[in-house]
Amino acid sequence: QASLRANFATRPAATTPMAYKPGAGISKEALERLRARKQADAGIADVPAEGKNQQWDRLLGEGAKKKLRCGICTRPLSEQEQLDKCLVCAACTASATAAGSPPALPVVATALASEEFGADVFYYCSRFARVARARPAKHAGVAEAVVAEEGDSGKASPSKASSSRPLIVGEGCANISRGAPIHQSCKVRAGRIPIGVLSFNLLADCYIRVQGQPWNAFAFCEDPLLDWEQRLPLIIETLQSSAADIICLQEVMVEERCPPGKKKEEWTWPAWIDKLEGYTCVLQDFTQKEWEKTAQRNERVVGKRVPTGLATLYRTARFEECAGAKHGSGAGITVFLRCRDAAADADAGGGAAAGALELAVGNLHLLGDPSRAAEHLKSLSSLKKNMGKSAVRLACGDFNNECGAGSEVAEWFVQEGFVEAPTGTSWAEPGKAQRLDHIFFSGRLRVEAASGPLTDAEVASGLPCVSCPSDHAPIAVLLSGEAPRSRSPW
């Protein structure tokens, strides 16, 4: 041991400084050497070069190389695009230019190379920065993300987002005229999937002028305007002419009849829904005993033995159910749909294949008593549970609430990441109009067009009226979505 200590003491001092000293951290020289070595093997935005290990060879075969892909469509980048240090392919750049938004700025791989998470910042900016800059002023068919807050003048004005009100997306977008086909309101950009949605509270006949219930007396309405036999043809015409892909109905009077293929009568959706060509109807999935119990309750309270519920219709040519619908007395209906369409430019040029767009559609009718906010939140929580982990979600219906700043319903949608389509007023009594019906959505959807407010004549007369067969006007929105694409494993 003495000789070893002697030999160690006589050893010359090392001429190369140590890269690491306990308690002193990594030296600046070591960091510079690490960065230089990393940049020497880097491609675009620090993409590693060919892997050289046994695990790589076992998975992909010897000599396999990573394919650099577009940050938007995931198509492989050409050799020229790689030489130009581009993160977005020429096709996506040209598509953005044709749509009226500026192309992504050229990205230089060394711009943030010395910064922590530099590569991640590059990819984020190339994917989202262009969208954030594309905000044309009130361009028809283009959604401009602003928040509308009601001021003293009653007009919507852009302002900063409020934590107590859902973000209203699409201010300044195209207008959907009542009775006109939703898809004809504006042209959706190529490669995106249009989805026309309509929500309508029909005003069930059993809830009109009930003795002892002054809120449904409709003293300002003439009798013919409230007659169901006269209102029904206009309701059917409104629904059919809209050509909506998804229709959410509230206050649907369920009928006891013998449906096609059945041998005995049962409670089911009304026969007039069968007149809507090209639609599949999903009615609240109550048992026959539950429908009968509701019918007996209505007979006792409103004097008519007829239950009411919710119904969601979808256009069979464009959608199919990808999972069983979920139901609840407070949570309404949640229908899981898969779009049969594929993006027009899917897989063009040898890119990644496009999948089917799937979405969960919730149909709600919240209680009209503001003092029962706890029950409203309970219903919304049940809706969230029914929707599960769906990436694209819609919540439509009669909320009996304007969802203004400070309301608990509005706060719930903010916390759950929903935004609101800019539909107009939907309910009126003479001289007073309100937004009680809403369409909220989350996920990669974009507002292209939305229905406007009630006309001055409708507000002056109140609803129902000659032009609207219910005390709620239908609201509609044209959304566009992107089909999910298979991801590159890199």
Assess contact for 195 and 349: CB atoms under 8 A: no
Chain centroid offset of residue 398 CA: 18
Residue ranges of the chain with per-residue pLDDT less than 50: 101-109, 130-165, 343-353, 488-490
Q: Is the CB of residue 394 less than 8 Å from the CB of residue 360? A: yes
Q: Are 309 and 286 in contact (CB under 8 A)?
A: yes
Give DSSP secondary structure letters for 328-341: ETTTEEEEEEEE--
State the Cα–Cα distance between residues 131 and 67, nearest whole angstrom: 25
**DSSP per residue, 76-141:** BPPHHHHHTT-SS-HHHHHHHHHTTSPPPPP--TTTTTTSTTHHHHHHHHHHHHHHHH---TT-TT
* Per-residue model confidence (pLDDT) at position 116: 55
The separation between CA 174 and the C-alpha centre of its own chain, rounded to angstroms, equals 18
* Rounded Cα distance, 448 and 144, in Å: 9
Please return the burial class of 482, using the count of CB atoms within 10 Å of its CB with bins 0-12, 13-18 and 19+: middle
Give the C-alpha separation, 469 to 231, whole Å. Answer: 5
d(CA 393, CA 362): 8
What pLDDT, on the 0 to 100 scale, is given for residue 266? 95
Q: Which of 330, 315, 388, 404 is nearest to 363 (CA)?
A: 330
